[in-house]
Amino acid sequence: MHYLLFIPDEKRMTRAVLDRPEFVGLLQPNEPDPLVALPEVVGPDNTHTGAIVLPFSHGDETRNPPLGYLPDRQTWHSIPGSDCWIGWGNDSPPEPDDLLRRSLPLYPGPAVELNGGFEWIIPSCMDQKHVMVPAGEGWTTKESNRWPDLYALAEPVLHMIEANQTDDGDFDYGVAASFVSEVLRLNYRLTPQIIGALSLLDQDSLPRLAAIATDYARILNLIQDLAQKKQPAPNS
């Protein structure tokens, strides 16, 4: 089932309830408004009342969690770097299929098992499509990526992967986690904070995930092919 959010001291029941830094990009403009309840009981922080938010209502109502704070039937975790909490049914943790951005085109990629045992689609930022747009008297290309700075995030990750192939270069797990989190957000209703709360990324798998998300193997093959083509032909 989809996760729920607890936002302390929140009284609004509109889309603005998610206007917080930790939820930036959680919903795209063409996605429907979240469902909000304002229970009068103290929430999972044991201190405040507030809003219980279902960010997205699943088309199959049986996949929607009860909209309320039910401590005996739910598991709640604080969201890193936030005063908000994330929760789900004790026997129904969020699965990838529940969090897919169904109203938007799916970015293809391999299904990779993340921490927690479920398989998530990891697209390569190098496969993001470009669209043709008018530019003066001609045409040019424009990234159709919903996060156009993805390439800028990928560049230091590629350098780290390359350094670790040839020597004992330091692998910055924070940089890799930031990049992989942004790639995951392409297809799923996630934020870096929610990815942390769900414990989807573990240190052991980050180098492999970063290599998949940058398509490092394909880039390396292209570089090697170019190098071979630049070599002078053998004397006959």
Question: Which sequence spans correspond to the domains of the chain?
Answer: 4-94, 111-224
Per-residue pLDDT tens over the stretch 99-139? 988 766 788 888 999 998 999 999 877 665 555 556 666 66
The residue that leads in pLDDT, 20 or 143, is: 20
Determine what percent of the chain is predicted with pLDDT higher than 90.
36
**pLDDT given at position 126:** 65
Residue 65 CB contacts under 8 Å (≥ 6 apart), including other chains: 1, 2, 3, 4, 54, 74, 88, 89, 92
- Does residue 34 surpass a pLDDT of 70? yes
CA nearest neighbour of 2 among 28, 29, 35:
35
Measured N-to-C along each axis, helices 206-214 and 216-230 cross at an angle, to the nearest 10 degrees, of 60
pTM: 0.79
**pLDDT given at position 172:** 87
